[in-house]
Structure 1
Amino acid sequence: MALTQQLARVPPQYLDRCREAAASSPDGDPRWGPPDEDTLDLGWAVWELLTFNRQMQPDSRHIGILERSITGDLDAPVAFLDHPEVYDGFDGPPALLAPAAVTEVARELAAMEIDSLLETLPAYREAGGFPAFTADPGAYLAEHFARLRTFYDVAGLQGMAVVVWVD
């Protein structure tokens, strides 16, 4: 099973209910289960987009924005989600972006254009990037970036938090 980047947008009240469920459950189960329409599986696309961006535009401020969108804020209190019913435990436990941080990330992603980065794809591929990718990596990256941006736009507009993890 491949590891993939997962995101869930949830209202803060939902996190409160999960925290209470974990505290009252004998095994700490937070009863995590956001609706499918509020989850996003980015596969490995954002990791490759980060690697590509670091190599081709290493001074880009967008690197930090992309990283934060998938790593969350490490000081955010979601230790109660460190449970096998939430994620498989292979990577670090889930992390959180609170609603104010989500709005900030959404604004930054909305301002981010990846067209100039995608123009460097031929050079990146010549340097060994995407070695096993047979389809168009530009279309794949653009599609998944658009999904990430839309996901955060909706979360920001609705005042939701975003939980991120690898599964």
Structure 2
Amino acid sequence: MSMIGEYARVTAAELDRATGDPEWALKLVSGWWETAGEEAQEPDEARCLDIDKAWDALGFLLRRAGFPVDVVHGEEAIADAEDWGYGPPRYLAPARVRVAADAMAELSGASLVSGVAPAELAEAEVYPVIVWQRGESLDYVSEHYERLRLFFRAAADDGEGMLIWLG
């Protein structure tokens, strides 16, 4: 089973309720995912987004770049939340989503992966290690980052927070 980085844009009111009622949040997000499966949406229009298995590589590269927000794991825990796949969800408040979106606007996917060899990710044991051991291109990571940039920009423009988890 693969570990997939997943995101859901939430209004401030939805985030407030989610932090107090994680079961409600899981039902809300599950409903959005069901709908998303039926309708293909662009990242800037979607309520939910997954970055497939690129999450760990993005985290590694963003930390290396000194990125100001943990957009891969979230920054705040949701107390008493059940496991949503590979642990409980975390979140970013709307102000942190804006900081992230503004920083992403300054860092393209091409810049993020520039000068990085797959061997570096393999050596750092970045998930999925086997991909980097085979020497596969980082285009996969760059493409998912570009989708995430659009998703965060739309959320920031709408004043939304973000639920983040590994599913």
Of 53, 56, 62, the residue aligned with 1:44 is: 53
Relative distance call for 1:12 and 1:4 in structure 2 (3 A) is same
| CA distance in 1 between partners of 2:4 and 2:90 (Å) | 15
- The count of corresponding residues between Structure 1 and Structure 2 is 143
- Computing the radius of gyration from Cα coordinates, the structure with the larger value is 1
Q: CA deviation at 1:12?
A: 1.6
Per-residue CA deviations over 1:101-121 (Å, capped at 9, x if unaligned) read 111110011111343453424
Aligned partner letter, 1:106: A
Q: CA RMSD in A?
A: 2.7
Extract unaligned runs of 5+ from structure 1. 23-27
The answer for the alignment partner of 1:61 in structure 2 is: 66
| CA distance in 1 between partners of 2:94 and 2:51 (Å) | 21
The answer for the alignment partner of 1:111 in structure 2 is: 106
Aligned partner letter, 1:69: V
Give the alignment's TM-score, normalised by structure 1.
0.70
Q: CA deviation at 1:147?
A: 0.7
Per-residue CA deviations over 1:55-76 (Å, capped at 9, x if unaligned) read xxx4x323x54xx1122223x6
Of 23, 28, 31, the residue aligned with 1:29 is: 23
Q: CA deviation at 1:99?
A: 0.6
Give the alignment's TM-score, normalised by structure 2.
0.70
| CA distance in 1 between partners of 2:119 and 2:17 (Å) | 50
Aligned partner letter, 1:146: E
The answer for the alignment partner of 1:5 in structure 2 is: 5
Task: Give aligned-pair identity as a percent.
Answer: 25
| CA distance in 2 between partners of 1:150 and 1:119 (Å) | 20
The answer for the alignment partner of 1:70 in structure 2 is: 72
Per-residue CA deviations over 1:80-138 (Å, capped at 9, x if unaligned) read 5x125xx13x33x21111111111110011111343453424xx24567412465xx23
The answer for the alignment partner of 2:94 in structure 1 is: 99
Q: CA deviation at 1:49?
A: 3.3
